[in-house]
Structure 1
């Protein structure tokens, strides 16, 4: 299916626009630096991220149920509006009062998590159901491949430009050309990436508003209490359905394992690159290179996910991931970038596989709820590995000198925990799968 044919399908077209604009955050390359320049401390930064993750966990599944009952479009539109508000809050908050700044960022993290939860599953369900209504659901992997390529292309632009917006020397030349007073520090220019993201948020609102939904896909209720009851009932029924269908249960278990483990490592990838002696100036270019890498190999990911036997696919990806984490734990200078790229390819492929098989087994009426369970299981896993890694690293770092810690030696040594963590859980889930599959074939 060509890009031109894809763009002719209204919901798919606006789904691609929504996904790309929703995650086009120009401040992501300098995320931690931005918080510090606003006057927050590292401990406050960590606390705010815990609040963000907790909000997603609490709102994930109920939001999916409301999407199936109230309508997916309403939640996607609401998500985009909340996104605009939470970005506007940090774009215009005054920085003179540290307490006010922290409170504004606290509300920002709650709204950000809520917006993420509201959109999760609802936008995908709208696009997939449009294909299913016309009997073209088999092209969904192609849609995901196209979405991945477009998002990666946008990611290159956002990563490079966002980092440049935070570079004092680069922005000084822009200010000079415009006849403005040149900035002296990052605090003089820290809001520019936020302003740029605020503009892109308008595109997300536009794409959400232009999505269409068949009113027959969700049940109508006369009052809000009936809607709430229906949402809660659908959440419980979907949870029971997920647990009772081994196919769906193991798809979600494997997804959560692959995704939350890799996300934990990739969240710290800038620290990993620094520890293996990659100059800081090149880290931004590596991020842009990763986007190019995704564009080039999206087709291969889609073919593996679509045509490989599920059991063979999971086995190959599991063994490859274990080998990759072991390679990462060696901390090879320069060449350590290669396993990070391999890990990105594996996760990209697994995500297409999971989405393809999960949507194929899910009915339209509760698709958004099931996809929200997918997000819930990821966030629970992400929270668990975050706590475990923090505890393990704290114990490990006590045996190193300040100089070794500054060199990142303790950090490199801590990375072996990813290999042991993933291997243990992968083998445990696979053993459960093996015994369940012997009784009745799952895949």
Structure 2
């Protein structure tokens, strides 16, 4: 299929629109700084992310099962609505009461996790099954490549504008041009990226409402209770199938390790950039550079994922990731951006590999449920590393003076934990894989 033909498939077109707008959040370049400016502490920030991951863990697989029984579009639509609500909460919350701010952000994290769980797998399953019905499922890796390029192009504008929105000097010129009093600190402008994200959320809602799916017939005994039981039964059966299918199980284990470790680091990238002495205004340029890198290298990522033998691919990606985390732990000023860019390429390539092989080996009737297990395993890992990192950072920071903490020396010292954590789990999973593979070839 040509690009034009791919975009003429409605579900694929709206899938691309949904994905590119759902994650187009103007506050991502300054994510950690935003939370701190609202009055939250770094430990509260870490725990709120654990709550986010825990919510997804609880909702991920059941939502996938409901997508396979009740209908995938319903969950995608509901996800977009919940997303709009959770962003609106932090856009308009008053900041005078620290307790109220924390409670609102706590609810925000729960709703954000729920929204992610509802959409996870359902939007992808809708698009993939549409191609499969047309006998064109082999073009799915190309759809993922297109999605990467569109999302990355959008990401260039979002990160540049989002970081600029958070730079006091830049916004002072904008305010003066518009005839307003210039802002004095980031607290005066911190809501602007959130307002912009709220607008983009409307685009995600539009895409969700325009996706199409044949109406699902309820079980013969009908009713909500019967449908719920059918959904939970599908969840249980799919869980048993995943655990008894080494090919799928190990793909999910490796995916979770690569994804949740990188996501934890990238969640704190604004703090990392500040620690290696990069001004806020440049955060957007770094984000734009990352998006440009994804656009340029998306094709290479797809070719690597499709052409390399699975065992060799996982080994190469694992060793490259270890080297990258070690480089990050050195905390080099300015040059520390390079390993962050390499990490983005590794994870981008790994995600294409995982999606290609997982969809290829999953039946249509439980595809959304299996993809939800993918999200479940990621978020279990993300919750674990969030708790471990928060505890480790607390221990490390106790060894430094307040002046050193203000210089972020303690934060840089804590980054070595990513290298040790990833290396230990990668070796452990690989040993288990080797033992199982000797008994019967897996990949």
- CA deviation string 1:47-70 (max 9, x = no partner): 433322221111111111111111
Could you say which residue in structure 1 is the equivalent of 2:55?
Answer: 55
Q: CA deviation at 1:432?
A: 1.2
Could you say which residue in structure 1 is the equivalent of 2:29?
Answer: 29
Could you say which residue in structure 1 is the equivalent of 2:274?
Answer: 274
Q: CA deviation at 1:299?
A: 0.7
| Map 1:149-168 → 2, pairs under 5 A | 149-168=149-168
- CA deviation string 1:128-187 (max 9, x = no partner): 111111111111111111101111111111111122223334334334333445444444
Could you say which residue in structure 2 is the equivalent of 1:132?
Answer: 132
1:215 aligns with 2:251: no
Q: CA deviation at 1:40?
A: 4.1
Could you say which residue in structure 1 is the equivalent of 2:301?
Answer: 301
Could you say which residue in structure 2 is the equivalent of 1:328?
Answer: 328
Quote the Cα distance in structure 1 between the aligned partners of 2:100 and 2:389.
31
- CA deviation string 1:248-289 (max 9, x = no partner): 000000101111111122222233333334344423321211
Could you say which residue in structure 2 is the equivalent of 1:15?
Answer: 15
Could you say which residue in structure 1 is the equivalent of 2:141?
Answer: 141
CA contact (8 A) 2:14 2:208 kept: yes
CA contact (8 A) 1:404 1:410 kept: yes
Quote the Cα distance in structure 1 between the aligned partners of 2:177 and 2:412.
44
1:230 aligns with 2:230: yes
Could you say which residue in structure 1 is the equivalent of 2:374?
Answer: 374
Quote the Cα distance in structure 2 between the aligned partners of 1:117 and 1:397.
34
Which structure 2 residue ranges, 5 or more long, are not aligned?
none
Q: 1:36 to 1:406 in 2, by over 3 A?
A: closer
Q: CA deviation at 1:296?
A: 0.8
Q: 1:307 to 1:272 in 2, by over 3 A?
A: same
Q: CA deviation at 1:42?
A: 4.3
- CA deviation string 1:351-371 (max 9, x = no partner): 000000000111111111111
- CA deviation string 1:74-105 (max 9, x = no partner): 00000001111222222233444444443333
Secondary structure of 1:215 counterpart: coil
Could you say which residue in structure 1 is the equivalent of 2:113?
Answer: 113
Q: 1:147 to 1:274 in 2, by over 3 A?
A: same
- CA deviation string 1:367-393 (max 9, x = no partner): 111111101101111111222222233
Quote the Cα distance in structure 2 between the aligned partners of 1:397 and 1:91.
32
Quote the Cα distance in structure 2 between the aligned partners of 1:305 and 1:220.
42
TM-score (norm 1): 0.93
Mean CA deviation greater in 255-264 or 91-100: 91-100
Quote the Cα distance in structure 2 between the aligned partners of 1:305 and 1:283.
30
| Map 1:362-401 → 2, pairs under 5 A | 362-401=362-401
Q: CA deviation at 1:41?
A: 4.4
CA contact (8 A) 1:68 1:218 kept: no
Which 4+ stretches in 1 moved above 6 angstroms? none
1:423 aligns with 2:423: yes
Mean CA deviation greater in 393-402 or 207-216: 393-402
Secondary structure of 1:385 counterpart: helix
| Map 1:426-437 → 2, pairs under 5 A | 426-437=426-437
Q: 1:331 to 1:221 in 2, by over 3 A?
A: farther
CA contact (8 A) 1:69 1:220 kept: no
CA contact (8 A) 1:75 1:122 kept: yes
Q: 1:115 to 1:180 in 2, by over 3 A?
A: same
Secondary structure of 2:146 counterpart: helix
CA contact (8 A) 2:162 2:284 kept: no
CA contact (8 A) 2:247 2:442 kept: yes
Mean CA deviation greater in 260-269 or 143-152: 260-269
Quote the Cα distance in structure 2 between the aligned partners of 1:400 and 1:92.
37
TM-score (norm 2): 0.93
Q: CA deviation at 1:419?
A: 2.0
CA contact (8 A) 1:218 1:365 kept: no
Quote the Cα distance in structure 2 between the aligned partners of 1:398 and 1:326.
23
Which structure 1 residue ranges, 5 or more long, are not aligned?
none
